[in-house]
Structure 1
């Protein structure tokens, strides 16, 4: 990323006076000691840094490997219509998976945000907190009822608030105001419901027993992190306001943490970080007098722990790293959710012709640039979503058990998309009206890992999601595809649904062949520094998110989830970050 002069960075803050220190190199910082150091300005880290710096007597250093989210080429981050288009750019870590046995040996890109806001700046905007059972399962796993659904409610309200779409259309009856809060993160519904959306909602009215309607958060109308005609991310909602108004928060950009520093022998205390800007750059050390909060995400967090000597001793030895804490679960137990796309030509109006018209796209982007209105100012591609379960008498459940969080949690998910989205092995048609339905394995049983490729922080780790390596997982995706095919035969779709693009997938073998050739990541990795009870030997962090075996170090990001989440990780990570901030403040008696 380009290094910007400090004066120019201050102008980017959007305030008359820029109070915080924003630095593009560690040597620019005049102090080496802070109360708190937060590693990663992503979905969680930006929240934690913002909340801790609310106390003016507390000093906070936030370190981000990527750069600005409001500088050169940042329109791809902020414009809702362009959501997802930052993947593969300089705003992406541009990771790649290892060869996937369950996907015919394929490797694939594995996007993660490399920018202020992290993945909340490059994702597809979906906001879904997951079922209450998700949180109750975390509480049970951690043996700590404070993580339960009932007890995390204040942190939900502290994070998010519902706002209208740019055109102020009435969304009464499409969301439940009671379950929305007063936080800085904005969420909204689409400005322009489509014919597809109305058919989906109508289906839930006619066939509510098979396809029940849930007004808010889980199935039904989809909420996205869009407000005031732009993406609402952890950076725009939390970090920029804090940077614009506080002197006690410093942000260091374009800099990676290469290792944590530890003092003490009997009781090892993590007290600092070593940072550098590239493999050959001079290294600098910053000290935290109170705590270090590791929020580098489900990939970066285990990599930093391993590089610091916290992890499986066998792996550390192999990479020439001295073991400080033999913690076998660091980087293990990774879960992610695979996704495929199925497409149908339809007799109706969709966005497909518009998206095949470069002049039309240019016109809406020009309209957005002029006055922040139009299609580009809101989520329009997919506005309805369904979370569904296998039948109670499913042979898969009988043989393998139920991996979901409970009887009200999903095994698979459908999103209804108002255009043609192709799989990696397809070429999209350039004419006609098309819809796509994505099929997601919501509750996988396969578990992969994040391991070191070397002892250098600048070498990407080995990322193995182990997609579709269990019989339950591939069997569930097959059943999900068949369920979708049945769904589209209901009378709601009469006269609308035409032939499928893929032809008829009629047998389990045909569906399996298609899925293994087409599936990619939904970009929802979790579990690589999983939470467990305080007395349990396994796991990486305890109920208070402190790393086991050391003091002075917490993990606050998606890596702490012990299972693939029942909603979308973005929303759940925000909630974890709010609760973690409160825990840290309580520990240090900060108001």
Structure 2
């Protein structure tokens, strides 16, 4: 089969690209996704993220593991990644966060011309249909429905009051004029219509409305095995679909949108990457690109969890499960209530030192106990608070375990390999502990899980024993204008014609916030770079 564009990966970026490129009726587009269709109840019902994130069982989740991490006492980290149309937007907490404007100006300063804040804001706005309507910061008529939560818990509002008692100002919009402060997260969720209260994944927002187009082909449960390169040009993708090998040819371009782990893995399996790595696995070198798989950056998360003396949170007990069941019935009727909650309802952006020009710490406040990605369950009601360092100095890499395309990639985030990250995380943990002890949370505060004596040594040991990802890996196919970049500022792979990478892997530096909204922005901008047709400006 032959198409104009063959896109590998039906995640947040791939869904946006497939929808945008197929707007041209003269262009044929094929989207390849290794997972399922992205429409099941686990994805649509926001609260059921708890059933997917643990990977036990693997519901819409690749459930990767890292290499042993010396900075985490030799533990293997866990890396949930979405395995369905919508990708990780199908299994995340639905939080819509763009990062700080200065993050994108930093990209431009690193040689990524056109990717500064003024260059990316129009694409954030084009993507968004904000419940409050369009303004200077928000789009009002985009595909992605974004808005406030319908019914945040009382404890989440108490968390915000606790932050205010610590002189952390309240903010109504983390994506508005000022990111710093504490408040409620906006969510990617249907705000009205028959899908009200359901998750608005990238697939639900972009792809599903476009599925009826005759020029768009979507293949699910199709594993991409190799990009075919002929005379220096990417011409096809070899896949395995329903047990059969197939080759899908691309007249114009092959586009990799398989994410920070999948895109570098497929490049290397195709002979594009570090010659030393390829040679170690007997893969012929098509193009020696030493930085493929390098520059892996992620947000390392440290969590405090508490039993709750009140029952208006999420609990693993007969009463709690009964409340959740009743909430599910309410959600099916009205789209509201506990089942519509992102669970991580509140948060804050903080500076670890007053002289910093922007926040370097982020808090997620969760209305249930989240221990080891829900893989350690605790009987009773509870809540959690998480903190991460937004711009870590530590950077790792993605490599291969072998030449089998169905094998997991080799993931080494190198957490805490730079000692500055540990010091910043400890400062943040101290602030978080004070917030959790504030009077506003007293009605709920019960026993703390994993208490320690409060010493610096004990805190460091607790971080090394329990910290792990908050699910924001980026950077492994770095964009730039320098000789070491993997892709140029138009996201074309250096030295291989007809091949681009469009996903979070192209970020030269991790942004200060959740990465789903920026990934969709990248794909919106890429659509204009690939196919410069006139698209309406956001309103």
Structure 2 length normalisation: TM-score? 0.90
Change (3 A) 1:295 1:84: farther
Deviation at 1:511, TM superposition (A): 0.6
Deviation at 1:198, TM superposition (A): 2.3
Q: Which residue, out of 188, 192, 197, partners 1:225?
A: 188
Structure 1, 489-498 or 357-366: larger mean CA deviation: 489-498
Query: Which residue is equivalent to 2:456?
Result: 508
5+ unaligned residues in a row in structure 2: which ranges? Answer: 191-195
Kindly report the root-mean-square deviation, in angstroms, between the aligned alpha carbons of the 2 structures. Answer: 2.5
Query: Which residue is equivalent to 2:147?
Result: 188
Matched length:
521
Query: Which residue is equivalent to 1:236?
Result: 204
Q: Which residue, out of 517, 521, 529, partners 2:477?
A: 529
Query: Which residue is equivalent to 1:422?
Result: 371
Query: Which residue is equivalent to 2:137?
Result: 179
Q: Which residue, out of 206, 225, 250, partners 2:217?
A: 250
Change (3 A) 1:117 1:489: closer
Q: Distance in 2 between matches of 1:552 and 1:428?
A: 48
Q: Distance in 2 between matches of 1:212 and 1:193?
A: 16
Deviation at 1:465, TM superposition (A): 1.2
Query: Which residue is equivalent to 1:543?
Result: 489
Deviation at 1:417, TM superposition (A): 2.0
Deviation at 1:460, TM superposition (A): 1.4
Change (3 A) 1:494 1:117: closer
How do 1:124-523 residues align onto structure 2 when only pairs under 5 Å count? 124-144=93-113, 146-163=114-131, 178-181=136-139, 182-203=141-162, 205=164, 208=167, 210-211=168-169, 213=171, 215-217=173-175, 218=179, 219-227=182-190, 228-244=196-212, 246-264=213-231, 268-277=232-241, 281-345=243-307, 350-353=312-315, 357=319, 358-369=321-332, 371-379=333-341, 381-392=343-354, 407-408=357-358, 410-423=359-372, 429-431=378-380, 434-490=382-438, 492-493=440-441, 497=445, 500-523=448-471
Q: SS of the counterpart of 2:252?
A: strand
Contact (CA 8 Å) 2:21, 2:527: kept in 1 or not?
yes
Deviation at 1:427, TM superposition (A): 6.0
Change (3 A) 1:95 1:500: closer
Larger Rg: 1
Deviation at 1:131, TM superposition (A): 0.6
Query: Which residue is equivalent to 1:77?
Result: 43
Q: SS of the counterpart of 1:81?
A: helix
Change (3 A) 1:437 1:156: same
Contact (CA 8 Å) 1:79, 1:376: kept in 2 or not?
no
Structure 1, 575-584 or 107-116: larger mean CA deviation: 107-116
5+ unaligned residues in a row in structure 1: which ranges? Answer: 1-31, 165-174, 394-405
Structure 1, 212-221 or 326-335: larger mean CA deviation: 212-221
Q: For residues 227-284 of structure 1, what are the alpha-carbon distances to aligned partners after superposition, in whole Å with 9 as ceiling and x for unaligned?
A: 121000111111111012x1000111211121111122xxx11111111138xx4422
Deviation at 1:492, TM superposition (A): 4.5
How do 1:60-75 residues align onto structure 2 when only pairs under 5 Å count? 60-70=29-39, 74-75=40-41
Q: Distance in 1 between matches of 2:331 and 2:98?
A: 30
Query: Which residue is equivalent to 1:555?
Result: 501
Change (3 A) 1:75 1:424: closer
Structure 1, 55-64 or 350-359: larger mean CA deviation: 350-359
Q: SS of the counterpart of 2:67?
A: coil
How do 1:23-102 residues align onto structure 2 when only pairs under 5 Å count? 32-70=1-39, 74-87=40-53, 88=55, 89-102=58-71
Q: SS of the counterpart of 2:157?
A: helix
Q: Distance in 1 between matches of 2:59 and 2:153?
A: 33
Q: Distance in 1 between matches of 2:293 and 2:400?
A: 9
Deviation at 1:386, TM superposition (A): 0.7
Contact (CA 8 Å) 2:397, 2:412: kept in 1 or not?
yes
Contact (CA 8 Å) 1:84, 1:123: kept in 2 or not?
no
Change (3 A) 1:191 1:90: closer
Q: For residues 359-401 of structure 1, what are the alpha-carbon distances to aligned partners after superposition, in whole Å with 9 as ceiling and x for unaligned?
A: 22222223334x24342552253321111121147xxxxxxxx
Q: Distance in 2 between matches of 1:354 and 1:320?
A: 50
Change (3 A) 1:437 1:331: same
Change (3 A) 1:564 1:578: same
- Structure having the higher strand fraction is 2
Contact (CA 8 Å) 2:93, 2:344: kept in 1 or not?
no
Contact (CA 8 Å) 1:204, 1:213: kept in 2 or not?
no
Q: SS of the counterpart of 1:367?
A: helix
Contact (CA 8 Å) 2:331, 2:340: kept in 1 or not?
no
Contact (CA 8 Å) 2:197, 2:336: kept in 1 or not?
no
